[in-house]
Structure 1
Amino acid sequence: MRTTSRMLCASGLLAAAMAAPAAATATTPSLPEAAPLQLEWDARLRHEQVDDDAFSRDAAATTLRLRLGLRASFGEGWSALLEGAGVAAANEHYNSGANGRTQYPAITDPHGSELNQAWLAWQGDVFGATLGRQRLLLDNHRWVGNSGWRQHEQTYDAVALQWMPLDSVTVRYDWLDRVHRVAGRDALNPLARERKLDTHLLNAAWVRGAQQWVGYAYLHEDRDVATASSATWGARWSGKALRDGNGPGWTLEAARQRDYANNPQRFAHHYWLLEPTWTQDGVTAKLGWEHLGGNGQHALQTPLATLHAFNGWDDQFNVTPAGGLEDRYVGAAGKFGRSGLAGKLAWAVAYHDYRADRGGRYGSEWNASLSLPLLAGLDAMLKLADYRADGFGRDNARVWLQLEWRGQQALAGAR
């Protein structure tokens, strides 16, 4: 694979910036819960570089995302949010999905603006409801998430209901009418902009101490792409057994996915995840085995997931290959110390081995990241992904340099 001097130079520049002393933590100051009106913002400046052996040119995208929202609290449990987002791009040396620059590798961060969220909610002691365009995050986002890594966020036109009959039990039901995807409203492919849905999500969780049990049924009907419709039933158990911050943790999950509603295909696939962890002196190591079944003609899919968070940061497997996917991985994360700059500089590293459910090997991938809070609400990140093909795709490397500033400000005093 080619090694680009621009990628190495950019990495060095951010690493130098991150070595500067941090003035404060990245925690956004909290506001009184009763503030009737507040402004919220999330500004993210990012440079992404891609070296893909399938292309003669590297891709480079420098983008700035600004998300602004007004959150209102009306009392008696009522609240609302109106939020817009805009993305500006400093260049067009990448294929955004909207600019037609197919001579470059894809970086799905097109410039443009959109309505991100607009919802009305009521929350009581036991029952809550939200109506409108909203962010939905279920469990670890494996099945339903917001794809928050991309500059445009994935949001849903939905009705979300929540019932808490006990402090330890939460039951959620969500009906989805439409999903607004990360490719933005100007994507050349209309199906990459949004999809019409008739999707029912049921999720029931029970928490006891440091453990959680979840059962779910996700009945997903895609009215625009019938072959994407599926029904998934599953269960998830996660927990920790730490003493003085040290000890084991675990996540076990199993699911079965079948064809559903308007899907003309007939299939049934299994999913499982086994992920034991061990935390020692602030460092958490993990082993993982994630299985997405496939039969050579069709495979288990997770079209509403936060896909970047799974199966490596290089995004080779956003669509599961027809032969399925076995992702066996090892990783670790922590900080370089317990105080001072070392106590703020966080690191993570992981290695993935990818194979088909039935058949040969796909390839392998290394991931690594450094992150550091610079000021209150301001974070810096350096992130790398290096995929080496062995039967699937081509060698590919990515580097990201990012600054993100989040905050909120009361516009009217607390009652």
Structure 2
Amino acid sequence: MSLYKASANSTFSVKITLLSTTVLSLLIAHTTALAAMDDSIEKALKFGQADDAKYGQIKFNLRYRYENDDSKAPDKAVGNASTVRLRLGYLTPEFHSFQIFAEYEGNQDVGANTYNSLRNGHDTYETIADPQQHELNQFWLSYNGLPDTKIKLGRQHITLNNQRFIGDQDWRQMQRTFDALTITNKSLHNTTIHAGYITSVRDVTAEKIDMDSQFINAGYDFKRIGTLSAYTYLLDFNDRPTDNIKSSQTYGVRFNGGATINDDVSTIFTSEYAYQQDYANNPDDYEADYALLIAGLNAYGFIVKGAVEQLGGKGAGPAFQTPLASDHYFNGWSDQFTVIPVNGLRDTYGSIGTTVMGIDIEGIYHDFTDDTGKIDYGEEWDFMAVKTFGKHYSLLAKYAYYDDNGALTGLTDTHNFWLQAEVSF
């Protein structure tokens, strides 16, 4: 890239940042004024009903985001995306144990379109997977006429445990949803069972991917200690031949909990293990392991955690993969490892979070290697600040810096920056 182009990109990035800051300032003033009107708005969205929704309820979510993606990749220009995402839905009142929900979702560019959305053909820019698209995000029918059971059929979002294996990718502007039949049952004491059959996925680029997948996830709640979960995920990607390598069968167990020591101190503990191998039409013959260990303290207003997450790989064939995860929440916010390298991935990380003047702040450090710890994959620093106003308004600023440390991974130093404002009813 020439010096002129680099300078032009820097100037443009500054202009976009200034524009985004101005828009966010206006949104702050606007949402602060709206906060006093929450009761009136909530009542209006329930068609004038204050305490119930006998005529149904309108669901509304508006999110503005500015995102900057700047890496040292010589063939990619800096990505700048300024977008507004709207979700608008209607939930019917319950009628003979049946209920219907329909939701529109649309994402609109409100600035210069200088990023690769994976749908706009701008592949000379860095990828920011928030295309300008419009879709029927959810459309489902539910039935809860059986004891302790809810059945849902149609396009829906699905999140299980911490979304490491199945999640809705809600960080991106276009949500991942599933065409599925799901069943949630709570008949057994302290036990919740989720089971489902998925026929297709609508991904974050608003493209449909056919599949023939099943899952079951059962969790038992040990009161005041934590939840023990066991799961099976059978993923069969049968739409495009290039997706067949994502087909896998995964079996695992997870414990998430902690203990209260006193009014000011409690412990945090998570451990998980899973085994995965090829499934259905996957052309590869492989097997891999997954392990997670998190330990921490919530003490005197601070949350401190240390963790190791390992996704196995043998250097030949696929490593442990989680193609339906909400992967932005894992292995660093710069999204360097959405596909796990063939030698696997060990992510050793620590985090600290607290609240200052009503602002939630968090910092995370990641050290990445292969699953043996011998091959350096670089490191990352992540920082985030979130301010909420009442129940419905929030502002977010977020930064990620990935340093490849000269590692021979094909990855490059990357800076990511986000500003976001959201209103949700």
State the TM-score, normalizing by the size of structure 2: 0.86
- TM-superposed deviation, 1:50: 1.1
Does residue 372 in structure 1 map to residue 387 in structure 2?
Answer: yes
Residue type matched to 1:161 in 2?
A: I
For 1:80, give the aligned amino acid: I
Q: Which runs of 5+ in 2 are unaligned?
A: 1-5, 44-49
Q: How does 1:259-274 map to 2 (within 5 A)?
A: 259-274=278-293
How far apart are 1:323 and its partner, in Å? 1.1
Q: Is 1:57 aligned to 2:86, yes or no?
A: no
Secondary structure in structure 1 of the residue aligned to 2:93: strand
Deviations 1:55-81 (A, max 9, x none): 452110000000100101233332110
2:237–2:244 contact (8 Å) kept in structure 1: yes
Could you tell which deviates more after superposition, 196-205 or 356-365?
Answer: 356-365
Amino acid aligned to 1:209: K
**Cα deviations by residue, 1:186-211 (Å, 9 ceiling, x for unpaired):** xxxxxxx2221111101011012131
> CA 1:396–1:367 in structure 2 vs 1: closer, same or farther (change >3 Å)?
same
Counterpart AA for 1:366: W
Partner of residue 324 from structure 1, selected from 338, 344, 368: 344
Amino acid at match of 1:204: A
**Is 1:215 aligned to residue 234 of structure 2?**
no
Q: Which has a greater percent of helix?
A: 2
Q: Within 2, Cα distance between the matches of 1:201 and 1:36? A: 34
1:108 maps to 2:129? yes
Distance 1:382 1:276 in 2: 26
Partner of 2:57: 38
Aligned partner (choices 247, 268, 271) of residue 249 of structure 1:
268
Take 1:209 and 1:19, find their aligned partners in 2: how far apart are those partners? 40
**Aligned twin of 2:362:** 348
1:101-142 C-alpha deviation (Å, 9 max, x unpaired): 111100001102001000000124411100000000101000
> 2:37 and 2:384 mapped to 1: Cα distance?
17
Aligned partner of 2:138 in structure 1 is: 117
Aligned residue among 286, 294, 299 for 2:313: 294
2:193 is aligned to 171
Which of 387, 402, 411 pairs up with 2:420?
402
Aligned-partner residue type, residue 235 of structure 2: H
> For 1:262 and 1:56, how far apart are their aligned partners in 2?
35
Question: What residue in structure 2 maps to residue 413 of structure 1?
Answer: none
Secondary structure of the corresponding residue to residue 214 of structure 2:
strand
Aligned equivalents of 2:284 and 2:388: distance in 1?
Answer: 49
Q: Which residue pairs with 2:165 in the alignment?
A: 143
CA contact (8 A) 2:270 2:295 kept: yes
Larger proportion of strand: 1
Corresponding position of 2:94: 74
Percent of aligned pairs sharing the same letter: 32
Runs of 5+ in structure 1 lacking a partner?
Answer: 185-192, 337-341, 408-415
Structure 1 residue 9, shift from structure 2 partner: 8.8
Partner SS, residue 92 of structure 2: strand
- More off after superposition, 166-175 vs 291-300: 166-175
Closer, same or farther in 2 for the Cα pair 1:174/1:254, shift >3 Å?
A: same
When normalised by structure 1's length, the TM-score is 0.88
Q: Name the Cα RMSD after superposition.
A: 2.6
Aligned to 1:282: 301
Q: Following the alignment from structure 2 to structure 1, what is the Cα–Cα distance between the partners of residues 108 and 248? A: 36
Contact 1:26 1:375 in 2 (8 A): no
The number of aligned residues is 392
Rate the CA distance shift 1:56–1:141 in 2: closer, same or farther, 3 A.
closer
Cα gap change, 1:207 to 1:33, in 2 (>3 Å): farther
More RCO (CA 8 Å, sep 6+): 1
Give distance in 2, aligned partners of 1:131 and 1:300.
30
SS at match of 1:165: coil
2: CA distance between counterparts of 1:332 and 1:270?
Answer: 28
* 2:328 aligned counterpart, secondary structure: helix
Corresponding residue to 1:361 among 357, 376, 379:
376
Whole-angstrom distance in 2 between the partners of 1:204 and 1:213: 8
Contact 1:26 / 1:374 at 8 angstroms: preserved in 2?
no
> Residue 229 of structure 1 corresponds to which residue in structure 2?
247
What residue identity is the alignment partner of 2:236?
E
Q: Which residue is 1:258 aligned to?
A: 277
Q: Cα gap change, 1:403/1:100 in structure 2, threshold over 3 Å: closer, same or farther?
A: same
Q: Distance in 2 between matches of 1:315 and 1:262?
A: 28
Residue of structure 2 in register with 1:303 after alignment: 323
Post-superposition offset of 1:366: 0.5
SS at match of 2:187: strand
**Which residue of 1 is the match for residue 216 of structure 2?**
202
1:159 aligns with 2:178: no
**Counterpart-to-counterpart distance in 2, 1:395 and 1:173:** 41
- Whole-Å separation in 2 of the counterparts to 1:133 and 1:52: 36
TM-aligned CA deviation for residue 35 of structure 1: 3.1
Residue type at the aligned position of 1:173: A
Q: Which amino acid aligns with 2:134?
A: S
Q: Which amino acid in the other structure matches residue 60 of structure 2?
A: W
SS at match of 1:74: coil
Say which SS state the counterpart of residue 308 (structure 1) adopts. Answer: helix
2:24–2:420: 8 Å Cα contact kept in structure 1? no
